[in-house]
Amino acid sequence: MSLICSISGEVPESPCISPVSGCVFERRLLEKFVQTNGADPTNNEPLSMEQVIDIKANPVVRPKPPSATSIPAILKSLQDEWDACMLTTYTLRQQLHTTRQELSHALYQHDAACRVIARLTKEATAAREALATLKPQSGITQPAPPVAQQMAVDKTEDDGEPIGLTEDVIQKLQDKASVLTTERKKRGKRMPEDLAVADDLRNYRQVASHPGLHSASIPGILCLDLCSSDSNRIITGGADKTAVVFDKETEQVISTLKGHSKKITHVIYHPTEDIAFTCSPDATVRIWSVQNGHCSTVIRTHKEAVTGISLHALGDYLLSCSDDQHWAFSDIRTGRTLCRVTDDAIGSALTCAQFHPDGLIFGTGTVDSQIKIWDLKERTNVANFPGHSGPITDIAFSENGYYLATAAEDSTVKLWDLRKLKNFKTLTMEDRYEVKSLTFDQSGTYLAVAGTDIRVYLCKQWQELKTFTEHTGVATGVCFGKNARFIASSSMDRSLKFYGIIIGITTCAFLTDVISQSCCKCKENTCIVYTALDIL
């Protein structure tokens, strides 16, 4: 049966039927008519294309023109069809070749990925075995203390009222301050002979990096401190709630201190004894025995997060400050708090605290941009240093006893003269520069600033000597080694880095000069060889 379009009278290519009239139409002709008139072409009844029903029929093959009935025309038609078939076959072969190459590349990448995964798995297993082997050597896996010792620790926890500063304690503080003042005046007349000079610090470069001290699941080292009597010993506190004591010379972990329920924000290594101090937002200060990694005392004098700690020059007393707006002075031998004080006139949380080198006064920073100086004997606020426009992040007293450096979230570091009680210098950083830590070296010659990067300044001239940008995260702590012979830094990138002078000799085809320095031991230039990349 043949279908004839009611409009054109020809066999339609896309036949459809109108339910209004029942006639067959070519769909494209019907669409044009309906768009123009909105009615059926035969009876002018209203009609829309949604009502039209398509007819499924075999495709119509139009008859060949009369010119194709001759033998030459048929041969040409066959030749054209053959050419089209060959072109199609050639295109399919090209597509097949491309597909095979893509499949081969994908299989190669899959095989390489499997090899990398296998190698990393093997290295991770080897690292775990090495760590398990090192732990017994470092004294971490010591047997737990007996129950009686644990009970003794619990008894030393300070959760009662302060007992007050006795006359004996005050006298000890005054005697120590007199001795320190005399010694400082003697040291001020002559600097240490082996103190690193400014040119040395300008040549400092990264000499070591240790990224695996803290957990990778909760990355970030938040603080560090060096033992002043043995600067090879460094303690770091991390966001993983642990503190790690590390030996710089042997590059081994000495002890891992676990006990805090929240991150560790400040650490201190006792200058003469093998004990360490840590504080945390869990509202506790813990005193640790480094040798066996056990907590000997827990101080619970604060009700909220402990934000800073500082050790008195006597080595027997610890200053702490907290979000509960109080600072506390505690005896580390008994774990008892001697006094706990707040400033009712301000009523703001404390962010940091630091003893003056003499130990009779100390400074605290607040969230409302105030730096307050306190008299320890009288427990009174004796001076205030306004000027910052953000929460105070850190403060540091110079060993000369005259300078105080303060930092805040306003991207500035201010220097204050304690004799005149005024700001005499402001170090303005770039916009959005974060300052997390300040420290003077033991001679008071240099000031280090840790934050977005690490910067070292020459005091008095306040000239920037060196900037270190090796950390990939914000630097959270910085310390000088003995006589500023090296610098240590910690960062949120979970690494502990050391900077110093690289001693050796190097020759590079791309350089015209030979960079060399004599070895401090053998006085020769041939003891150690470094590449140009290591030096530069």
Residues 51 and 175 in one domain: no
Residue 212 in domain: yes
Q: Measured between alpha carbons, how far is 262 from 239 in angstroms, rounded to an integer?
A: 8
483, 474 contact by CB (below 8 A): no
Neighbour count for residue 7 (Cβ, 10 Å): 17
Q: What is the pLDDT of residues 471-480, one digit of tens each?
A: 999 999 999 9
Order of strands across the sheet with 361-366? 350-355, 361-366, 371-375, 380-385
520 and 437 in a common domain: no
At residue 458, does pLDDT exceed 90? yes
9 and 44 share one domain? yes
The CATH number that applies at residue 25 is 3.30.40.10
| Domain assignment present for 376 | yes
Asked if 80 and 68 count as a contact pair (C-beta separation under 8 A), the reply is no
Judgement on whether residues 513 and 494 belong to the same structural domain of the protein: no
Backbone phi, then psi, for 100, in 5-degree steps? -65, -40
Q: Is the pLDDT of residue 435 over 70?
A: yes
DSSP string, 477-509: EEEE-GGGS-EEEEETTS-EEEEEPPP-EE--T
Residue 196 pLDDT > 70: yes
Q: Band of the pLDDT at 191, cuts 50, 70, 90?
A: confident
Average pLDDT score over residue span 321-343: 92
pLDDT tens digits along 216-264:
888 899 999 999 889 899 999 999 999 999 999 999 999 999 999 999 9
Amino acid at 240: D
Q: Where does the pLDDT of residue 63 fall: very low under 50, low under 70, confident under 90, or very high at 90 and above? A: low
Query: In sequence order, what are the beta bridge partners of 397?
Result: 404
User: Which residues, in sequence order, are bridge partners of residue 473?
Assistant: none
What residues make up the domain containing 531?
505-536
Are 497 and 535 part of one and the same domain?
A: no
Do 157 and 337 touch, CB atoms closer than 8 A?
no
Per-residue pLDDT at 56: 87
Tracing tokens 């100390």 back to the chain, one arrives at 362
Picking from 29, 61, 93, the residue at the C-terminal end of a domain is 61
Assess whether 456 and 528 both reside in one domain: no
Residues 48, 181: one domain? no
Whether the model clears a pTM of 0.75, i.e. scores above it, the answer is: no
Q: Are residues 407 and 516 in the same domain?
A: no
Question: In the chain, pLDDT over 90 holds for what percent of residues?
Answer: 61
- Measured between alpha carbons, how far is 187 from 166 in angstroms, rounded to an integer? 32
Q: Examine residue 70 and state whether it is found in any structural domain, yes or no.
A: no
Which CATH number fits the domain that encloses residue 381?
2.130.10.10
**Residue 110's pLDDT band (boundaries 50, 70, 90)?**
very high
Q: What is the per-residue pLDDT for 57? A: 79
The domain boundary residue, chosen from 61, 78, 97: 61
Identify whether residues 333 and 438 lie together within a single domain.
Answer: yes
Residue 88 belongs to some domain of the structure: no
User: What does the pLDDT average to over 29-53?
Assistant: 91
pLDDT, residue 365, reads 94
Domain tally, the chain: 3
Residue of higher predicted confidence among 346 and 299: 299
Structure tokens, 148: 């009686």
Same domain, 525 and 484: no
Structure confidence by residue, pLDDT tens digits, 374-401 = 999 999 999 999 989 989 999 999 988 8
Task: Provide the token pair at 276.
Answer: 């360490």
Q: 61, 78, 100: which is the final residue of a domain?
A: 61
Query: Is residue 144 included in any domain, yes or no?
Result: no
| 534 and 397 assigned to the same domain | no
Answer whether residue 130 is part of any domain: no
